Amino acid sequence: MDPVTVRNIKIGEGRPKICVPIVETGKEEIAAQARALADLPLDMAEWRADWYTDAKDCGKAVETAAQLREALGDIPLLFTFRTAKEGGAARISEAEYVQLNTAVARSGYADLIDVEVCSFAGQARSIIREVQSAGVKAVASSHDFDKTPPKEELLGRLHYMKELGADIWKIAVMPNCVRDVLTLLDATLTVREEPDSRPVITMSMGSMGTVSRLAGEVFGSSVTFAAAGKASAPGQVNVDRMVQFLETLHV
């Protein structure tokens, strides 16, 4: 598997990269949090634009992305509008979702863009192509905050992401028992061992699934999300503690 190179990091090579989400609602607060991240031991930042009050205004979203780019320096930026259907903070129409992601991709301020390929199945392929044509990496994603589907279904979603041509494949699920965590880890390892695999990001959410955020290098997940202040999903570990864990587990 070839890693995906974004600025100064290679996703899919070495220990999992640490990504810290920005989950503020106002433009100035977003920029301030980005400036604060520059002093933390992280590899990437994620702007969770679904928290941003003016996210559906493409002009304002691009302006805020520009501020983020300046504040983050050479830290790679992942742009994400997580829909309410997949655990996010806001609702958005399909047309608005396409327009927003296209505008941010074309702006050049984001290095990666998250695409919810199950919620927007009809537009997923065209969004991914549009993102990639702008020179931005596409992260195909799928989230289930209620349960962990069977391994076969998880693999089916990852294979669908492969068929769409996404650069990175991401799945997050909620465990209802310990064996659900094992199911997620098993699916992760299985797909990483397949020919022509791409970097994958997987996590089992909540406190029960925390081990999946720590053991990515063992099972094949290339990025782990850690919190610096507000968490964007249940089970995220503080970024400083995450660094300690990953250094201990580095193989």
Token duo for residue 234: 């249940």
Which of 185, 211, 180 has the alpha carbon at shortest distance from 200? Answer: 185
Among residues 17, 56, 137, 170, the one annotated as catalytic is 170
Query: Is 143 noted as a catalytic residue in this protein?
Result: yes
The active-site residue, picked from 17, 143, 151, 162, is 143
d(CA 160, CA 169): 9
Query: What amino acid positions are annotated as catalytic residues?
Result: 143, 170
